[in-house]
Structure formats: C-alpha cells, structure tokens
Amino acid sequence: MVETDQGPGMLAELAPGGSLLALIAGRGPLPVAEVVTALAPVAQALAHLHAEGMVHGDVTPGNILFTSEGKPLLGDLGTGRLLGAAAAAPLGTPGFMDPASDGAYHVGVDVFALAAVCWFALTGRAPGPTEQRPPLALMVPEVDPALMGIIEDCLSAPTDRRPPAAEVARVLLASATPVPVNLAPAVHESVPPGS
C-alpha cells in the first residue's frame, strides 16, 4: 500500500509475461513441473494472506500473472476481504467458484479456486461439478498421487476436508522438480523481447 494524492493505493508489479489463462490458451495444458513452478508460489501467497486474516476471493487463471522472468504473481486483489466478511455478490469466477460457499469470505473459497486452477493448468479445462468430473488420474496419469489427492480434497464439497493453502504448496513442491515456464505463447506481441 502506498499513499497517493488521491488517497491510499496499491503498488503492483508489472506482469509482461501474460497470464496463466493466456498461456494455456496458447499452449494447452502444462506439464506437472511447470504447474509446480507456476502455482506453488501462488499457494504460498494465499497461505500468507490467510495467515494475515485475508481472503483473495477470485483465484483464477486470468489472475495469475507472470513477470518477464517467469515469476508468478497473484493479481486482482480488489475482491479480497477480511475473513468472515459477508459477500455482497457470489464470490469468484464461474468454473473457479466454490459451490459450497455460504456467501462469506473464508479460506475454503481460495483453496477450492486454487485446486480448480491446478486442474485447469493440468487439463486445459475447469474441473466442473464433482459428479461430472472425470478422475484426474485418467486425464493426466503422470500426476503424482499425492498431488491428485490434494486437488480432489480441495475440490470436494465439504469445506472441512480442504487442506490449508500452505499444505497445497508443500504437496505441489514435493510432486515434481520445478522447471521454467515457457511463456512465449502468453506474452502479448506488443511486449518487446527482454522486457
């Protein structure tokens, strides 16, 4: 947060590397090692927000951005609120919204959305409702069983089964050795090389 002549403001880092949404639209699903690189830091950022009593409220592939070096950033904190605050409208973006949400901001909303983004990054599509979702093991058999399990736990309807974001980060990091994300398909043509 910074003070401006218009009042308090948020200083954000430029993300010329594009979004996870643009990357997957341009490349298709990512290999597990690139998913680890892209999403483990996001899970860690959510864990930090949650520890500070805040909820993001709209974790989506479009809100996960990259610097030119490939560092992932969690954007669009405009929907963030204090834990327990009531929401004036449904929380999140269709496909990444918690179906078990009671309209209040709680960490389960972010954890569900994080798992939905993991599913999207691995498969190229949003997970859909539990009863219509094919097993991740059939779609992406190379995913570590522990990672599959935590994604399913996070997507499950009972919010009390969902692990905290820090545990998601730990399992992501243990599931594969991170490798640099190939951002070329996500970077807008107006961004000069080396920016």
Q: How far is CA 181 from the centre of its chain?
A: 15
Q: Tokens in use for 2?
A: 């910074």
The string of DSSP codes covering 159-184 is: GGGPPPHHHHHHHHHHHS-------T
Question: Do the Cβ atoms of 154 and 112 come closer than 8 Å?
Answer: yes
CA angle 192, 193, 195 (to 5 degrees): 75
Catalytic residues: 58
Stated as kind and residue range, the H or E segment containing 27 is: helix 20-27
DSSP state of 147: H
Question: Do the Cβ atoms of 163 and 150 come closer than 8 Å?
Answer: yes
SS3 64: strand
